[in-house]
Amino acid sequence: MAVVDAKTGKVYFPPFKEVGNTSYGMPYIDKGNNPAWRINSKLFAFVGIPDANSKGMGMYVYSFNQNRFRLVYFAREDEEEKKAREKVWEKELDDRLAAMAKTYTSLKKRLAEDYPQVQCFKGRETKYGTTEFEVDCIKDNLIVSIHMDYLSTPDEAKERIKLDLNYSGYPKWQKVEGLGDQAIETDQCSRAWLRFRKGTFYVWMNANLNNGGKENPNCSGERNAASEKLSEFARQIALVLVDILNGI
């Protein structure tokens, strides 16, 4: 990081180049990011271990005054407290994965009862970063990949769907009624995409023909019969899934 004088263009650097162990946010300051700063403050804070002038793992607060950085506060991280927090967080992640595994079992059972021609298979589980559970469902030559993300708050789920709405790589999104708190879908060229959120869950679904992911060379971006069929297939499964999530 650096401070740049907007009038002169002069650049001022802190007395370190890198900070390690900084990926889990600021545990002591607001709900902000790590590192943290404000445009109307002279303070710059982070939790981690700098590669110079290190006092160990902890929270460092620097003041930028008279064109230089000065360390004004340091709080060493309590190892026992850290281990306790990590243990609680690990259990939270395990509980999330267990909840999604249970949801998958319920989804597979419901689909077997209501749509016996649909077969579903468990995919990859992701514990860190985003706590995610993947499922693939197939009917004839249609396949939909389902990714369930279990987030910390409903606001995070809102942000995820907002990112998709603003992403220009997909065709124009359309709203879908009856799918959780908010749902959108779009389709083109023998492909379909569906996104919905329910509470702290964010679900994104990508559907395509079971043909190894090959595009139709004659399709120039328009909807076609296959893409509409894929969109209908994804929506069919999503309605069952959101009904299960309603009961969680």
CA 113 – CA 143 distance, rounded (Å): 19
What are residue 105's phi and psi, to 5 degrees? -60, -45
pLDDT in tens, 8-17: 999 999 998 8
Residues 6+ apart with CB under 8 A from 96: 131, 150
Q: Is residue 31 part of a domain?
A: yes
The pLDDT score that the predictor gives to residue 38 is 82
pLDDT in tens, 171-197: 889 999 989 999 999 998 889 999 999
Question: Do residue 45 and residue 146 come from a single domain?
Answer: no
User: How many structural domains does the chain have?
Assistant: 2
Which string of b and e fits 12-30 if b means at least 16 CB within 10 Å? eebebeebeebeeebeebe
Q: Is residue 204 part of a domain?
A: yes
Structure tokens at 240: 């069952």
Question: Do residue 111 and residue 139 come from a single domain?
Answer: yes
**Which range marks the domain in which residue 196 is found?**
96-246
The pLDDT score that the predictor gives to residue 47 is 86
Question: Do residue 204 and residue 120 come from a single domain?
Answer: yes
Chain-centre distance of CA 39, in angstroms?
27
Q: Is residue 12 part of a domain?
A: yes
Q: DSSP code of 77?
A: P
The pLDDT score that the predictor gives to residue 17 is 87
Q: Is residue 83 part of a domain?
A: no
